[in-house]
Amino acid sequence: MEKIKVLCFHGFNQNKEKFIRKASAVRNTHKAKYEFVSFNAPTQIGMIDDIDNINIQVPSYCWYYYSQEDPPNIEWTKVFNTIESVDQLHGFLKSVEHVKELLQNNTYDYYFGYSQGAAFLSLLIELNIINSSNAKKVVFCNGFYPLKIQQDENQEGGGDKINIPTIHIVGINDEVIPEKQGRILANKFLNPVIIEHDKNHNIPKVKNLFD
């Protein structure tokens, strides 16, 4: 039986090979029915160790970055919900076109975004590139919403809710993306399912994500 494909968006300063290795726990619990398909973002951010040989350096990528430095500054994690517009996300439109081209030639029912990949995925949904007609479910892992949100002290997010089935895997002791940021993202969707984990910024073993 042909496996169902899940399109995956890697994190900042990663590549598709590193993501697949990082997601091994969740991939292994779904390998009977699902194939996790990862691809590189179009903007190279630097060089990282090869997953099989630390003596070899391979390119790493990002979906967008906040500064106009070249290469972009990788110190980005303290910027949450402060950017007013996608126009301030350098490299964003390049990534959008990259995904559009991929989706023209391939069909996916499920999507999985990790860290910055989850943030980028949320913007693809807002742009209606991914929506309830072409996605059965979207999974955000250790994610956040990158743009400024109109909110008050009693709200974790504001605005109309997006009607698409989502699961939000949130790290209660995540040292990179604070738990609150994952909940702000979840609150943008109608009836989000939130799964907590204690594996810091790693991707935990979770079963039945797409059932």
**What pLDDT digit, counting tens, does each position of 56-100 carry?**
999 999 998 876 665 555 555 455 656 778 888 888 999 999 999
Range of the domain at 89: 4-197
pLDDT band at 154 (very low <50, low <70, confident <90, very high): very low
pLDDT at position 85: 82
Strand partners of residue 137: 110
Strand partners of residue 39: 9
Task: Evaluate whether residue 209 is within a structural domain.
Answer: no
Q: Which residue has the higher pLDDT, 155 or 11?
A: 11
Mean pLDDT of 33-53: 93
Task: Evaluate whether residue 205 is within a structural domain.
Answer: no
pLDDT band at 160 (very low <50, low <70, confident <90, very high): confident
Task: Evaluate whether residue 203 is within a structural domain.
Answer: no
For 163-187, give the DSSP string: -S-EEEEEETT-SSS-HHHHHHHHT
> 209 in helix, strand or coil?
coil
Average pLDDT, the chain: 88
Q: Count CA within 13 A, CB hemisphere, residue 160.
A: 4
Q: In what order do the strands lie in the sheet with 110-114?
A: 34-39, 4-9, 110-114, 137-141, 166-171, 193-197
Max distance between CA atoms of the chain, in angstroms, equals 50
**Number of domains present in the structure of the chain:** 1
| Cα separation, 12 vs 34, whole angstroms | 24
* Statement: residue 129 has pLDDT above 50: yes
| Cα separation, 156 vs 13, whole angstroms | 28
pLDDT band at 46 (very low <50, low <70, confident <90, very high): confident
* Statement: residue 153 has pLDDT above 50: no
| Cα separation, 199 vs 203, whole angstroms | 7
Task: Evaluate whether residue 21 is within a structural domain.
Answer: yes
Task: Evaluate whether residue 59 is within a structural domain.
Answer: yes
* CA dihedral (12, 16, 22, 25) positive or negative: positive
| Cα separation, 35 vs 139, whole angstroms | 14
CATH code of the domain covering residue 36 = 3.40.50.1820
Length of the chain in residues, anyone? 211
Strand partners of residue 59: 47
* Statement: residue 2 has pLDDT above 70: yes
For 116-159, give the DSSP string: HHHHHHHHHHHTTSS-TTT-SEEEEES----B-----TT-S--S
